[in-house]
Structure 1
Amino acid sequence: MSASVIRDIHRNAPGAMTARPPSDTFTVGVMKMEVEGRDSARFDAVVTRAVGIVDETLAQDRRLRTRTMAFAGAHLTPGAGNYAPLDFLEIGLAEKLERDLPFLLIVTEVDLSSSSLTYTLALPSQLTNIAVLSTRRLDPGFWGDAPDPERMAGRLAALMLHCLGHLNGLRHAEAPDNVMYGLEGVGDLDRMERLEPEQVARIARSLPREARERSTRDGKGRFVLRILAEDAGAILGAVVRANPFRLLAMMPTMLAAALSVIVVLLFSAETWDVASAVSVAQIAMFSLICLASAAFVLYRAFAFDTLLSRDRRITESGIVTMAATILCLVLTLLLMFALFGGLMYLGIVTVFPERLMESWPGAGEATTAVDHLKLSLFLASMGVLAGSLGGRSDSRDLVRGVLFITEET
C-alpha cells in the first residue's frame, strides 16, 4: 500500500496548496476499540502502521490530520460468532461528540455481523460521519496463508481511505485500482491505491461541509431551527438513502401487528358506528394523533439517544441525525397509512354489500363514499398505532442499519 491514494488532492483542488490557518484543519479520529483482547500488541501495531500510511496520504492535503485514541472496556455481546456494528456506532456517536471530531473511524479486531453478506469488513455511516472497521479478516493468515502484518496494515489503510471517501460522498468506482472500488473480497484491497482527479476535487469541495460541526450551549431553539433550514438538503439526502419503502419492508412484525388489528376492527359493527358518526375533521385529527404517537414510539425504539454532550452542548450533526431519523420514520408510517387505507377502502367497497350496510351499523346507514373513506382512515390510523407498538419487536440492528449505514463493505 503506497501513499499515493490521495496524492494529488491539493494539486488538483483549486487553491489547495496554499497554507491554511489551524481553524481550517479537520481531524479524522481513529479509535481503537479492542473487544476480546486476544493479541493486543499485534492489533495495536497493525492499527498504528495503517494510520501511518493514512497519515502519509493525508499529509498531501494540509487540511486533514489523524488523531489516534483508544476506547478500553467495550463490553459487547457477540451473536453467532460476530458483533453488531451498530453497537460500535452508538458508542462512537457519544465519543465523537465528547472529543469534538468531524470524522471518526472505529477499528476493532472482532468480526462484524451483516444483514445481507456472509461477513462485512466495514460499515460507513455518512449521516453520522462514523465508520466501523474490522481487522479480523485482513491478515492473510486468517485465510490459511502465512501471516503478514505489513500487508494487513496496508489493507486496513485502504479500507480506512475507502470509508473516508464514503463519508465525503464518493461513490464506487469501476477500476479495481481505485480506492473507491466496490470490493468483493479482502484481496481487492491490495490493489486499491488511486483516486481520479474528479474524485479528488469532490473531496476538496465536500470536506468543509461534511467536517463542519457547529455547536451551542445557549439559544438551543434558534440553533435547531437554523440548522434544520441550512442542512435541509443533507437531511433529505439521508432520507433518500434510507428509503422509507426499504425500511417498511424491514419491519414485518409492524406490518403483521397492524394488519391483525385492522382485520378484527373491520368486522366489528362498533367500528362502523364510530366511523359513520364522527366528522371528516375528527377523523383527520385522530389520524394525525395516531401518526404522531406512532412516530414517537418508533423513534424511542430505534433512534440513537445521544444529543447533548456532558457540557450540555447541542451539535449540528446531532440535530441532522435526529431530524433525518424522525423524517424517515414519519414517511415510513405515512406510507403504511396510505397502503392500509387504500386496501381497506378497496375491501369495504368490494366485500361489504350495500344492503348489509343499511342495517348492520347501529348509528345508521354507512353506504356513502364519505362513510367508506372515514372508515378506511380510521382503520389505517388504528393499524399504524398498533403496528408501531408491535414494530418495537423488529430487529433494532436491521432498522438502524437502514437508517444510519451508507453501505456494507
Structure 2
Amino acid sequence: MGTGQQSLQSPSLSDSTSSAKGKPSNETKPPVEVGLVIAGVLDTIDREAIEAARRRLMVELESRFADFRWTLSSVSRTEIDIARRVDPVVFLDDGQMERDLHQWDFVLIITSADLIGHHKPFALGVVSRTIDLAVISTARIDPNAVELSADDESRIERIAERLQVLVLRCLGHLNGLPKSLDPNNLMWDFDNVIELDSMTEWTADQLNAMTSNLRAIADLRLEERMRVNTRSKFGFYARVAWSERREILNGILEAEPWLFPLRLSRLTTAAVSTMLVLMMTSETWDMAMSQSISIVLGMVLVSMCGTTAYVVARQQLLVRRQDRLLSEQIAVSKITTTLTVTCGLATSLLTLFIVSLILSYTLFAQPVVEKWGLSVQNEILFSHYVRLCGVIAAFSLCIGALGATFEDQSYFRHVTFVDEEL
C-alpha cells in the first residue's frame, strides 16, 4: 500500500468569474490524474528535487493544457527495497497496483536506483504505453554523478529541471507523440544527460495531438458509464476492446511484437531446431501432406491459442494484486498484453512457415518428396507443401513456447511491456 499520499490540484475558479469570462469553471473541466510513486528511501537532495519538479510540472501542465483539471498525486513507497542497480521491470507491479488503487490515468515511478538497460548500457527511464506507466531514475541526472564539487542547492535545481524534462518526455510518449529530430524538442531522442538541459519545447502540432489524446483519456471511463449490477466480465472486456481499440492498437504497435523472434532467442532457437528436425523426417511429410486444409488450419489455430495462453500464464504477464477489480484501465492493459504476445507468436509462426516452405520446395528433389509422401495418391502439388509447412510451423511453435519458458522472466516482461528506454 502507498503511504504519505499528497496531491496537487488545479486551483478552483469561481463559477461567476468563469461565466463572466465565457470559460468553463475548473470543476467542469475534464480531469487528468497523474500519480508519482517514490520508490525506496531517497536522500534529502532527491526528495527536495522531486518536490520542486512536482510543483514545476503542475505549473507547466496547467499552462500548456489549460482545458483540463490536473491532479498530480504523490505516494511514498519507502518499504520497496532497491539495490544500487535494478531492472526497471521490478517496479511495474507496484506501479500498476498504485494506478489501479487510485484510478490514475498515468503513473510515474521515481527511484534513485541506477536502471539497467537491455538495449543501452544504462537507462534514465523506461516507458510502457501498455500499462500507462514510466520509470525514471535520478541516479545519473544528479550533477554530482560527474561533478563532485556541485553544492546542494545547484544539485537540487539541476535534478528538478532534468526530472521535469524526463517526466514531460514520458507523458509525451504515453500520449502517442513520436520522436522528434529537433534537439530542443521535448521528444528528442537524446544520447546523454547533458542534452536534457536544452529540451524545452513542444510544437503546436504536438500540443494539439496531446490535447486530443488527453481529452479521450479524460472522458468518463467505461465502468462509470455502465450499471455495475448489469455488467458481466466478458461483456465488459468486449466493450472495452471495442471502445478502446485505438489505444490497444497503439500499445501493440509500440511494443513491436514483430521483433519477438529476434529478441526472444530461446524461443526462436527451440522453434527453428524443431522445424529442421521435422523437415528431415519422412513420417512428417507423409502425415502432413495427407491432411486436409481445414485440419491444418485447425492445428495452426490451436497452436496459436495454446502457446499464447501458455506463455502468458508461464511468464505471469496478467498476474495482478487487484485481480478482482474490474476497470477499464485493467482491461485495456490485459487485452493489450495478450494481443501483443499473440502478435509476437504469430510473427514467429509466419516466419517458420515461410522458411520451411522455401526450404522444402527448393532443397528436396521431387523423387524424394514422392517417396516420403506415400499417402498422397495423386500428383504432389504446391498445396501439399503448404499443408506440410503449416503442420511443421504449428508443431515448431509449440516447442518454441516451451523454450520461451527458459527466457528470464524480467527480460520477457521487458520485451512485452517496455516500449522505449530513455
Quickly name the TM-score band, shorter chain normalised. Answer: 0.7 to 0.9
In 2, Cα distance between the equivalents of 1:59 and 1:357? Answer: 70
Matched, 1:352 2:364: yes
1:403 corresponds to 2:416: yes
Asked if 1:394 is matched to 2:402, the reply is: no
Gaps of at least 5 residues in structure 2 are 1-20
Confirm or deny that 1:20 pairs with 2:20: no
Aligned partners of 1:255 and 1:387 also within 8 Å: yes
Instruction: Give me the whole-angstrom Cα distance separating, in 1, the residues matched to 2:319 and 2:216.
Output: 22
What does the per-residue CA deviation read over 1:159-206, in whole Å, with 9 as the maximum and x for residues that have no partner? 212212222222333444433333222122223333333333332222
Deviation at 1:18, TM superposition (A): 2.9
What SS class does the counterpart of residue 86 from structure 2 fall into?
coil
| In the alignment, structure 1 residue 150 sits paired with structure 2 residue 157 | yes
Could you tell which deviates more after superposition, 315-324 or 364-373?
364-373
Q: 1:85 aligns with which of 80, 83, 88?
A: 88
Paired residues of 2:260 and 2:348 also in contact (CA < 8 A)? no
Does the Cα contact within 8 Å between 2:130 and 2:337 map onto a contact in 1? no
CA contact (8 A) 2:266 2:407 kept: yes
1:316 to 323, 328, 334: 328
Q: Report the CA distance shift for 1:177/1:332 in structure 2 as closer, same or farther (over 3 A).
A: closer
CA distance in 2, matches of 1:384, 1:258: 6
Structure 1 contact 120–408 (Cα < 8 Å) conserved: yes
Separation in 2 of the partners of 1:29 and 1:153? 17
Q: Which amino acid aligns with 1:291?
A: M
**Partner Cα distance (1:335, 1:176) in 2:** 35
Q: Match of 1:135?
A: 138
| Corresponding residue of 2:282 | 269
From 223, 237, 256, give the equivalent of 1:215. 223
Normalising by the residue count of structure 1, what TM-score does the alignment of the two structures yield?
Answer: 0.86
The worse-fitting range, judged by mean Cα deviation, of 293-302 and 375-384 is 293-302
Structure 2 Cα separation of the partners of residues 223 and 23 of structure 1:
27
Task: Note if contact 2:260-2:345 (Cα within 8 Å) is conserved in structure 1.
Answer: no
Distance 1:16 1:309, change over 3 A: farther
Asked whether the 8 Å contact 2:39–2:111 carries over to 1, the reply is: yes
CA offset at residue 47 of structure 1? 1.4
Asked if the contact 1:33/1:107 (under 8 Å) is kept, the reply is yes
1:1-400 to structure 2, matched below 5 A, reads 18-21=24-27, 24-34=30-40, 37=41, 40-60=43-63, 61=66, 63-75=69-81, 82-147=85-150, 148-212=155-219, 213-215=221-223, 218-302=231-315, 304-306=317-319, 309=322, 312-360=324-372, 363=375, 368-369=380-381, 370-400=383-413
Cα contact 2:127–2:173 (8 A) shared by 1: yes
CA distances 1:299-324 after superposition (whole Å, capped 9, x unpaired): 224463256736x3212222222222
Distance 1:348 1:406 in 2: 37
TM-score by length of 2: 0.83
Letter in 2 for 1:231: E
Once the 2 structures are TM-superposed, how far is the Cα of residue 31 of structure 1 from its aligned partner?
0.9
Cα distance in 2 between the residues matched to 1:366 and 1:33: 68
Give the AA of the match of 2:223.
S
1:72, distance to aligned residue in structure 2 (A) = 2.7
- Alpha carbons 1:306, 1:318 under 8 Å: kept: no
Q: Distance in 2 between matches of 1:295 and 1:16?
A: 53
Report which stretch shifted further, 317-326 or 16-25: 16-25
How far is the alpha carbon of 1:231 from its aligned partner? 1.4
C-alpha contact 2:175 2:210 (8 A) present in aligned 1: yes
Structure 1: segments with no counterpart, 5+ residues? 1-14
Q: What percentage of residue pairs aligned between the two structures are identical? A: 23
The answer (yes or no) to whether the contact 2:124–2:137 under 8 Å persists in 1 is yes
**Which amino acid is 1:267 matched to?**
M
Q: RMSD in angstroms over aligned alpha carbons?
A: 2.6
Counterpart-to-counterpart distance in 1, 2:277 and 2:378: 18
Residue identity matched to 1:196: T
User: What whole-Å deviation, never above 9, does each CA across 1:219-255 have from its counterpart, x for those lacking one?
Assistant: 2222211111111122222222222322221112111
AA at the equivalent of 2:280: F
Q: 1:5 aligns to what?
A: none
SS in 1 for 2:114: coil
- Identify which range, 88-97 or 142-151, moves more after superposition: 142-151
Change (3 A) 1:315 1:23: farther
Q: 1:200 to 1:17 in 2, by over 3 A?
A: farther
The whole-number CA distance in structure 1 between the counterparts of 2:217 and 2:78 is 28
Shift of 1:69: 1.0
Q: Any idea what SS the aligned residue of 1:193 has? A: coil
Matched residues in 2 for 1:343 and 1:235: separation?
30
Letter in 2 for 1:160: V
Task: Write the letter of the residue equivalent to 1:178.
Answer: N
Determine helix, strand or coil for the equivalent of 1:21.
helix
Residues 311-362 of structure 1, C-alpha deviations (whole Å, 9 max, x = no match): x321222222222222222222222222222222332233333333444456
